[in-house]
C-alpha cells in the first residue's frame, strides 16, 4: 500500500490551491498523448455502482464548435441583459469562455441508464449518476493542473443546443463543456475574485451541526 507522507500532502494542498477555472489560453496544442492520459485518469473517478456513466465527446470539427459559440453568445447576452448598473458593466468586462484559444474542446454527458453498475445505489437518488460525472470532471481538472494544463468549465450554454450540435443520443444529459489547454498565466486566485465579481467567504458559513 502506498504511503502519502507530509511532503506529498503539502504538494497536494498546493495542487488544490492552484487549480483554477481557466479562460485565457495559449493556442499551443497539447502533447500527442496528453489528452488520452488525462482522460484515462478521469476514468478512474468513483461512480455510483461502478457505473462509469460519463461520456466524453471531443469536439474537433469547425461546425459544432461554431454552434457552441453561437449558443454561448446568445445566452451570455441574455445574462448581461438581465443585469443593471455597475454589475452589468463589470459583467461585460469578464472573459467567460476560452472557446477561441483553447486547443481542446471536450463535452461531458451522462448516460442516464447505463447497464454497467446494475442500478446499484441509484434507485432512491438517480442524480448520483450526474454527480459521478462531475467527479470525473474534478479528477480530470486536478490531473490536468498537475501537468501545467488548464481547464475552463463553460456553463453559459443551452444543453439542447449542445446535444443537437454534437449529435449525441437524445437521452444523454449534458453535464459540462470544457476548454482545455495551456493557461496564459498561472495564479492561486480565482479570476472572478481578481476582477471583483465575488470573493471567497469563510468556511464557517457552510458548516452546520445538528
> pLDDT averaged over consecutive 10-residue blocks of the chain (210 residues)?
93 96 96 96 98 98 98 97 96 94 98 96 96 98 97 97 98 98 94 93 97
Q: Which of 23, 38, 17 is nearest to 156 (CA)?
A: 23
User: What pLDDT score was predicted for residue 123?
Assistant: 93
User: What pLDDT score was predicted for residue 79?
Assistant: 96
Strand partners, 58: 106
Q: Among all chains, which residue has been given the C-alpha cell 442500478? A: 119
Alpha carbons within 13 angstroms on the beta-carbon side of residue 156 total 19
Angle subtended at Cα 63 by Cα 34 and Cα 158, rounded to the nearest 5 degrees: 85
* Contact in structure between 101 and 28 (CB atoms under 8 Å): no
User: What pLDDT score was predicted for residue 160?
Assistant: 97
Q: Which of 76, 98, 71 is nearest to 174 (CA)?
A: 71
Strand partners, 109: 55, 174
User: What pLDDT score was predicted for residue 1?
Assistant: 86
* Contact in structure between 95 and 190 (CB atoms under 8 Å): no
Q: At what angle do helices 6-18 and 128-146 cross, to 10 degrees?
A: 100
Question: What element of type H or E holds 194?
Answer: helix 191-194
User: What pLDDT score was predicted for residue 157?
Assistant: 98
pTM of the model: 0.95
Contacts of 79 (CB under 8 A, 6+ apart): 91, 156
Angle subtended at Cα 153 by Cα 147 and Cα 159, rounded to the nearest 5 degrees: 140
CA distance 165 to 77: 20
The number of beta carbons lying within 10 Å of the beta carbon of residue 59 is: 21
Amino acid at each position: 500500500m502506498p504511503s502519502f507522507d507530509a511532503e506529498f500532502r503539502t504538494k497536494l494542498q498546493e495542487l488544490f490551491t492552484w487549480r483554477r477555472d481557466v479562460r485565457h489560453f495559449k493556442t499551443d496544442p497539447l502533447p500527442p498523448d496528453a489528452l488520452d492520459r488525462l482522460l484515462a485518469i478521469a476514468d478512474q473517478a468513483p461512480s455510483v455502482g461502478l457505473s462509469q456513466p460519463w461520456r466524453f465527446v471531443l469536439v474537433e470539427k469547425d461546425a459544432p464548435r461554431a454552434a457552441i459559440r453561437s449558443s454561448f453568445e446568445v445566452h451570455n447576452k441574455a445574462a448581461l441583459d438581465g443585469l443593471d448598473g455597475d454589475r452589468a458593466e463589470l459583467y461585460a468586462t469578464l472573459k467567460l469562455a476560452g472557446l477561441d484559444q483553447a486547443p481542446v474542446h471536450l463535452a461531458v454527458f451522462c448516460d442516464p441508464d447505463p447497464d454497467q453498475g446494475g442500478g446499484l445505489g441509484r434507485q432512491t437518488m438517480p442524480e448520483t449518476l450526474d454527480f459521478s460525472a462531475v467527479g470525473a470532471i474534478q479528477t480530470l481538472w486536478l490531473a490536468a493542473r498537475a501537468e501545467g494544463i488548464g481547464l475552463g468549465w463553460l456553463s453559459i450554454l443551452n444543453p439542447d443546443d449542445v446535444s443537437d450540435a454534437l449529435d449525441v443520443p437524445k437521452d444523454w444529459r449534458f453535464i459540462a463543456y470544457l476548454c482545455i489547454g495551456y493557461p496564459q498565466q498561472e495564479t492561486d486566485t480565482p479570476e472572478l475574485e481578481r476582477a471583483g465579481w465575488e470573493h471567497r467567504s469563510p468556511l464557517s458559513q457552510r458548516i452546520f451541526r445538528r
